[in-house]
Amino acid sequence: MVPEKLIAAAREAQNNSYSPYSSFKVGAALLTAGGNVYTGVNVENASYGLTICAERVAIYTAVTAGEREFSIMAVTGDHAGYTYPCGACLQVMAEFSPQLRVLVTDKNSIYKEYQLSDLLPQLFSLENQEV
Ligand code: THU
């Protein structure tokens, strides 16, 4: 699948963002190793800390459907600059697919591509701990 198509899926999902508190709409689209696409949006809450990011909604929706291997995550936002995944979302991406490609876009869907390891060079892993 070409990046533009995955970005278009994220952009379409973004319309359903529930973000009355930040007014920052985010969309995500996740391509699985098998070629399926799962989308997510940020869902906010009056108790702000309960907000969940678009990327995690996409990943958790895919995992719920039985998916475990992901190849590309596209992220869109409605602000002028590039919308990058937050640290929490990067950690969740790394749980399943350390080799994930991440497409970050500006509001015109101009994109930059990263490897997940570019964005999160060191991650929390139980295997890294000395006990
Ligand atoms: N947000 C995401 O959906 N993904 C991110 O990676 C960073 C932030 C959302 C959360 C909140 O609804 C809004 O953007 C402003 O922080």
Judge whether residue 115 has pLDDT over 70: yes
Expressed in angstroms and rounded, the spacing between residue 37 Cα and the centre of ligand 1 is 20
Which pLDDT tens digit goes with each residue over 16-25?
999 999 999 9
Torsions phi, psi for 66 (to 5 deg) = 100, 0
What is the pLDDT at residue 127? 81
Judge whether residue 73 has pLDDT over 80: yes
Ligand 1 atom nearest the C-alpha of 22 is 15
Expressed in angstroms and rounded, the spacing between residue 42 Cα and the centre of ligand 1 is 6
What is the pLDDT at residue 80? 92
| Mean model confidence pLDDT for the chain | 96
pLDDT grade for 131, boundaries at 50, 70 and 90: low
Q: Which CATH superfamily does the domain covering 3-120 fall into?
A: Cytidine Deaminase, domain 2 (3.40.140.10)
Judge if the beta carbon of residue 41 lies within 6 A of ligand 1. no
d(CA 22, CA 54): 14
Torsion sign, CA atoms 9, 50, 126, 113: positive
What is the pLDDT at residue 61? 98
Judge whether residue 15 has pLDDT over 90: yes
- Given 12, 44, 55, 127, the catalytic residue: 55
User: pTM (2 decimals)?
Assistant: 0.96
Judge whether residue 128 has pLDDT over 80: no
- Let me know if 69 is a catalytic residue: no
Among 45, 86, 114, say which to mutate for ligand 1: greatest number of ligand atoms within 8 Å of CB: 86
